[in-house]
Amino acid sequence: MIPLLLPVMKLLFCRQSAGDEFLIRITTNHLSLQEVTRELEDDSAGALSIFMGNVRNQGRFGNVSEIYYEAYSEMAEEKMREIENEAQTKWGIKKLVAIHRIGNLKVGETSIIIGVSSEHRHEAFEACKYIINNVKTRVPIWKKEITQESQKWTDGILLE
């Protein structure tokens, strides 16, 4: 059995190696700051910038109890990868993690984590800001605010 498995393991390893510095995910799982921080560790990076987006208790339609996030996951992954590549080109960052959670999230839960490590702080701050701003306007993800009285999709930006 072991000899038969070896080629597959090697393939998985190769693919992981090629992309391990730029992991991107759309997930239904809880987001872990610890895991993201671990992914960003790099001895040549002197700066690490993290943005976390959390569900607020106030929304456009009143007191929010939770938010439902939906994604066109295949396209969302592709668009996030495109944004990541742009950030890499602009600032030469060391490592990057961008994960968006979908499904029902309660107040206080984290919907998105963007993490960037770079040699100096300027690149990490700017890349992090660029990525979250572009995720909000270019990635096919939608949110529905759920209050005691209603469930409404929030207005957004038409993709170009």
Partner 1 sequence: MRSDIQDNDKIKVRLFAVLREVVGEREIIITVPSGVTVSYLNNEILKKYPQLNSFSNKFVTSVNCKVTTGDTVITSSDEIALLPPVSGG
Which residues of this protein are in contact with partner 1, per CB under 8 A?
53, 69-72, 74-76, 78, 100, 111-112, 132, 135-144, 153-160
3-state SS assignment for residue 52: strand
Report the nearest approach of partner 1 to the CB of residue 95 (Å).
21
C-beta of 16 vs 154, nearer to partner 1? 154
List the Cα angle 47/53/56 in 5-degree steps: 145
Report the nearest approach of partner 1 to the CB of residue 158 (Å).
5
Cβ distance 55 to 109 under 8 Å?
yes
Residues 6+ apart with CB under 8 A from 71: 26, 100, 102, 139, 140, 141, 142
Report the nearest approach of partner 1 to the CB of residue 43 (Å).
31
Q: Which residue has the tokens 């990868």?
A: 81
Return the DSSP state at 120: S
C-beta of 25 vs 138, nearer to partner 1? 138
C-beta of 11 vs 33, nearer to partner 1? 33
Q: Which residue has the tokens 């070896």?
A: 6
Report the nearest approach of partner 1 to the CB of residue 121 (Å).
23
C-beta of 107 vs 132, nearer to partner 1? 132
Q: How far apart are CA 24 and CA 134, in angstroms?
A: 14
